[in-house]
Amino acid sequence: MEQTLSIIKPDAVKKGVIGKIADRFESNGLRIAAMKKIQLDTKTAGAFYAIHAERPFFGELVEFMTSGPVVVMVLEGENAMSKNRDLMGATNPKEAAAGTIRADFAESIDANAVHGSDSLENAANEIQFFFSKEEVI
């Protein structure tokens, strides 16, 4: 079974829609194999988004991701990585298709409710970044 990493970002946690977002996954055939609520610090958020370190929005991204708790999850199911990306919708919520998580719960390109791994290789690395083997069950 394929696995992918999802993060419910600080905007969605603050809004109180953890359950609503988790329901989108479970209602669409994705099992939650691991889940925890954590507060990221600057070092951890910077390391997680290291791939974007040279992008102009990197500072804003790290600041936003550390602005409050997040919920990190491992989602498991058939085509979990691409299914999660479909459920999330486009990065910019203004461009996200109706009925997607970002269309329904996100405000802006930085406060865009969720993160999801964008390749199987990244998914494996991102899962390892947050979870030990024993935590994914």
Positions marked active-site: 115
Task: Give the shortest CB-118-to-ligand GDP separation in angstroms.
Answer: 5
- Per rule CB under 6 A, is residue 86 in the interface with ligand GDP? no
Alpha helix positions (H), 1-137: 10-15, 18-27, 42-48, 58-65, 80-88, 101-105, 120-130
- Per rule CB under 6 A, is residue 78 in the interface with ligand GDP? no
- Per rule CB under 6 A, is residue 39 in the interface with ligand GDP? no
Tell which one of 118, 124, 125, 136 touches ligand GDP (CB under 6 A). 118
Task: Give the shortest CB-54-to-ligand GDP separation in angstroms.
Answer: 13
Q: Which helix (DSSP H) or strand (DSSP E) does residue 17 occupy? A: none
